Structure formats: C-alpha cells, structure tokens
Structure 1
Amino acid sequence: MIPRYARPEMIAIWDAQTRFKIWFEIEAHAADALAELGVIPKEAAKTIWDKAGDAVFDVARIDAIEAETKHDVIAFLTHLAEIVGPDARFVHQGMTSSDVLDTCLAVQLARASDLLIAGVDR
C-alpha cells in the first residue's frame, strides 16, 4: 500500500501487528469452542486469553522464526507459545493454516469494506 494514497485506518487493517492480533483471536475463539465441547480444558482456553489477549506481538521475532521454519503460521504459533506457556499446546488443535489465513483475510476484507463504505456514505 502506498502510504500517501492510503488512509491511516486502512493501513492499520493490513499492518502485521493487526494481522497477528486477528490470528490470535481466531485461535483463541477456536480454543473456546473446543473447551465448550470438552476437547481441551476450559482453564487452558482461559489462560490463552489471559496471557495473550492484550499481547503486542513481536513482529521481528515472528519474522526470525519464519526465516528458520519457512512457515508463517508455525512462526506465529511458536511466538504465541512463548507468551502463553504450557497451555499453548491446546492452540491450533484441529485447525489448518488455511483456517487461520483465510479467516483473517475475510476479517480484514470486511473491515476494509466497512471503511470504504463509510467513506462513500460521508
């Protein structure tokens, strides 16, 4: 995105920190659902939210892990495990990378569309 042509709000939607926050929320909501089904402990789902819900993800750290693993989601999950601790073993159960990436893209597109529609309405 060329900064001089983009609104700051639009740039923020596509920022790496925002992307990782959305990835976290997808993973944490999935953990909640698995806890409700009895697949993972409810306390683990709570710990995931408590420890990482307000986290500021270290983009440079994730990039460094990705340089080694050659996999963006594995890099993110590795960094998330550094934040969450042992209960991170319950994150991403039954999910694929596409579940995270495609859902995130849908969230970003919806947010971007809302921003554009609001601009047209103004």
Structure 2
Amino acid sequence: MPNPTRQQIIDAHEALDTLCRETGVKTPVNALKWIILKALPPKPTPTMAEVEWDDDKHYLAEAEHPEYGKVIMFGKNFFFGHIRIMRTKEKGALWIFAEPGTLTPTGKRYTLTEVQE
C-alpha cells in the first residue's frame, strides 16, 4: 500500500486493535502488534467530522484547516452541519463556515478576558 488513504490507515489501526482484543494470548500478540505498528503510518488525528460538537470544548478552540492554516472555531450550524471559523490574525481576519471534515483540533483553546483601562 504505497499511499494509503486516511480512512485506510484508520481502518488498519482499528483492525489491529480488534485482532489483538479477540486473541486470547497476550504476550506474543502484543509483541507482534508493536512490529506491525512500526510499519503502519501513525493513526490520523480525528477531524471535527468524527467528533461531536461540544460548546464547552470547541467554542474558541483552535483547529488546523488545510487551506487557511490555524483557525478558531466559534460554533456549529446544526442545520447545515458547517462550523463557523475565523482565520487567526497572522493571515488577516476572515470569517467563514467550514466543513467539519476539514478541521483538525489542535488542543489549544482561547478565552476572552476583560481588560481594565
């Protein structure tokens, strides 16, 4: 498999996990699992299409978009399924809706704070 797709990589990792769980012998299987994992590409990070939107976790969270780079997520349009994003300040402000499958959360979140002047 010279250039496996994202889904093929995920399927291979899940198949390996299932195989290891369903086998009664632990030590030899675990040793073989690590050999196989070294040959597999790393499991891709889940996109927002694979994650259920949660305002507490995703409002003002950073994500990576293939075209716009790092963006900030603001909310999900539950009618169309798109996520409202803003491109970060390095590239100039841009507000758009993005497909959930194009957004990979980075784990970073932002907070709003009031500045006393």
The question of a shared fold, defined as TM-score above 0.5 by the shorter chain, is answered with no
Q: TM-score, with normalisation over the residues of structure 2?
A: 0.29
Bigger relative CO (Cα 8 Å, ≥ 6 apart): 1
Q: TM-score, with normalisation over the residues of structure 1?
A: 0.28
Looking at secondary structure, tell me which structure has more strand per residue.
2
Looking at secondary structure, tell me which structure has more helix per residue.
1
